[in-house]
């Protein structure tokens, strides 16, 4: 059967059932971004292609989508000319809509994005001398309510789909102009030292080299979509980024951590932020459910962590809350006790309107860092980036609506109740 045989009735479009992993669109077409090759083939079959043609077309389309970054079926030159409109009538190649893009004086870029059904979320690109890191969101808002985090003051609107998550990476490549140009060699044909050991691109010549799941949301509470999106990012036929260049940050959703190692296999970052139950219960309330000991044990069990691939412990520096020398010594003790291959990332608190905390003084941060460092654990202080455009990871929200303290307290109480 030819690919286009089902176009017998002029003007008639066979409806393609909307898969659950896709945001429904008003025009009824299905967005292919976020779907694995197998699902694309299934959808092509449902739309009327025979199994063999569907598989072949899916392979070709997948390559155009993830390897070449095209957003128009008309550009898919190895697909029959008659087939291209057939695809365009039933499918789209989506990108999150850009509501606004901002450029910081230090090169940091921030985008306010919108889903097809009108929810806003953010993405940030942070260039450094040796790498370029994209900070990706996993949810619109967050169900958790870490007290120092602005995202925690939003009511969760919803999980982002795999397409909306991988779509952020694709959009960043669009904006940075980083898709292979037409006629340019394929990945497989690239010079050997441009391809790293996992077959992905190396840092050479590319701006976007690393991804951190540190935008809005708790990625382990949207596990399936985050996994499916990162699989596309890591797929050698897809975006081909090495798992070594991807870091997932969690506030400590212990039951999902093992799955994260097994099903995704990326680097792990843990938002520890405190070393006593009392303080962590206050600032990272998920601690009431999964305590520090349980969390650190899950880190010790995390498959894939080693001295070469350390677990990052994020620690936000809050004045007079978690920043004493005693806290630093306890942090060292805990890391040694659980024999964790660890590095500590000290994050100066980024204040927002209504926040109940201040950032520690530079002297305090230095003293804390020195204690950890002298114990043989790397403890860099993360330089705030893109401050002029409010771009700090974990604080991704434009036009901060000011909430009164009473409103915030009500919201926190509501969320804690939901957490159980």
Residues lying near ligand SF4 in the complex (CB under 6 A): 142, 144-146, 149, 151-152, 217-218, 251, 271, 394
Mark out the alpha helices in 241-306 (DSSP H runs).
Answer: 254-259, 277-283, 292-300
- Least distance (Å) between residue 216 CB and ligand SF4: 6
Q: How far apart are CB 156 and ligand SAH at their closest, in Å?
A: 12
Q: Which does 121 bind (CB under 5 to 8 A by kind): ligand SF4, ligand SAH, none?
A: none
Number of residues that bind ligand SAH (CB under 6 A): 19
* Segments in 126-273 forming alpha helices (H): 162-176, 223-234, 254-259
390 touches ligand SAH (CB under 6 A): no
Active site residue 393: yes
User: For the purposes of burial, counting CB atoms within 10 Å of the CB of 91, is it exposed (0-12), middle (13-18) or buried (19 or more)?
Assistant: buried
Residues of this chain, 342-381, that bind ligand SAH according to CB under 6 A? 347, 349-350
Cβ closest to ligand SF4, residue 4 vs residue 151: 151
Read off φ and ψ for residue 346, nearest 5 degrees. -90, 120
CA distances, 90 to each of 40, 78, 84, 397, 420 (Å): 12, 19, 10, 34, 43
Q: From the list ligand SF4, ligand SAH, none, which binds 239 (C-beta under 5 to 8 Å, kind-based)?
A: none
Distance between CA atoms of residues 303 and 35, nearest Å: 27
Q: Are strands 120-127 and 109-114 parallel, antiparallel or unpaired?
A: antiparallel
Running DSSP on this structure, what letter comes out for residue 263? I
Binding string, 143-162, against ligand SAH, x = CB under 6 A? Answer: ---x-xxx------------
Secondary structure of 135-153 as H, E, C letters = ECCCEECCCCCCCCCCHHH
* Nearer Cβ to ligand SAH (7/113): 113
Distances (CA, A) of 50 to 47, 77, 410: 9, 21, 56
* Residue among 61 and 254 whose Cβ is closer to ligand SF4: 254
Query: In the bound complex, what is the minimum distance in angstroms from residue 215's beta carbon to ligand SAH?
Result: 6
What is the distance in angstroms between the CA of the first residue and the CA of the last residue of the chain?
56
The one among 159, 222, 225, 249 contacting ligand SAH by CB under 6 A? 249
Distance CA 111, CA 390 (A): 11
Q: Is 214 in the site for ligand SAH (CB under 6 A)?
A: yes
Minimum Å distance from CB 269 to ligand SAH? Answer: 7
Interface pattern 100-139 for ligand SAH (x via CB under 6 A): ----------------------------------------
Closest listed residue to residue 156, CA positions, set 170, 171, 179, 140: 140
Residue 145 touches which member of ligand SF4, ligand SAH, none, C-beta under 5-8 Å by kind: ligand SF4
Interacting residue ranges for ligand SAH, rule: CB under 6 A:
146, 148-150, 214, 218, 249-251, 271, 314, 316, 347, 349-350, 392-395
Catalytic residues: 122, 393
């Amino acid at each position: 059967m030819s690919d286009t045989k089902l176009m017998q009735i002029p003007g008639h479009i066979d409806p393609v059932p909307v898969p659950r992993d896709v945001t429904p669109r008003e025009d009824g077409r299905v967005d292919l971004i976020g779907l694995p090759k197998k699902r694309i083939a299934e959808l092509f079959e449902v739309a009327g292609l025979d199994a063999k043609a569907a598989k072949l077309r899916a392979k070709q389309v997948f390559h155009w989508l993830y390897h070449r970054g095209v957003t128009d079926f008309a550009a898919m030159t190895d697909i029959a000319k008659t087939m291209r409109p057939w695809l365009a009538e039933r499918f789209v190649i989506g990108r999150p809509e850009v509501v606004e893009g901002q450029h910081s004086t230090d090169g940091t870029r921030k985008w306010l994005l919108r889903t097809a059904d009108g929810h806003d979320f953010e993405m940030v690109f942070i260039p450094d001398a040796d790498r370029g890191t994209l900070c990706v969101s996993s949810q619109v808002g967050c169900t958790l309510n870490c007290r120092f985090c602005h995202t925690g003051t939003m009511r969760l609107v919803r999980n982002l789909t795999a397409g909306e998550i991988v779509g952020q990476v694709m959009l960043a490549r669009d904006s940075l102009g980083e898709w292979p140009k037409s006629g340019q060699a394929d990945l497989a044909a690239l010079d050997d030292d441009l391809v790293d050991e996992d077959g992905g691109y190396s840092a050479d010549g590319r701006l976007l080299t690393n991804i951190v799941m540190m935008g809005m949301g708790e990625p382990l509470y949207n596990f399936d979509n985050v996994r499916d999106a990162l699989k596309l990012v890591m797929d050698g036929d897809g975006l081909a980024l090495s798992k070594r260049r991807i870091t997932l940050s969690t506030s400590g959703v212990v039951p999902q951590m093992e799955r994260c190692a097994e099903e995704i296999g990326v680097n792990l970052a843990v938002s520890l932020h405190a070393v006593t139950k009392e303080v962590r219960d206050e600032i990272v309330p998920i601690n009431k459910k999964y305590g520090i000991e349980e969390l650190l044990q899950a880190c010790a069990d995390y498959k894939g962590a080693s001295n070469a691939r350390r677990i990052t412990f994020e620690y936000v520096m809050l004045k007079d809350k978690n920043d004493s020398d005693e806290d630093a010594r306890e942090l060292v003790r805990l890391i040694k006790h659980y024999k964790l291959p660890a590095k500590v990332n000290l994050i100066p608190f980024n204040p927002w309107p209504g926040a109940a905390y201040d950032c520690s003084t530079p002297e305090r941060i230095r003293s804390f860092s020195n204690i950890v460092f002298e114990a043989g654990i790397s403890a860099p202080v993360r330089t705030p980036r893109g401050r002029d455009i409010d771009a700090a990871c974990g604080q991704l929200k434009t036009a901060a609506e000011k909430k009164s303290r009473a409103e915030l307290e009500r919201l926190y109480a509501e969320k804690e109740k939901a957490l159980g």
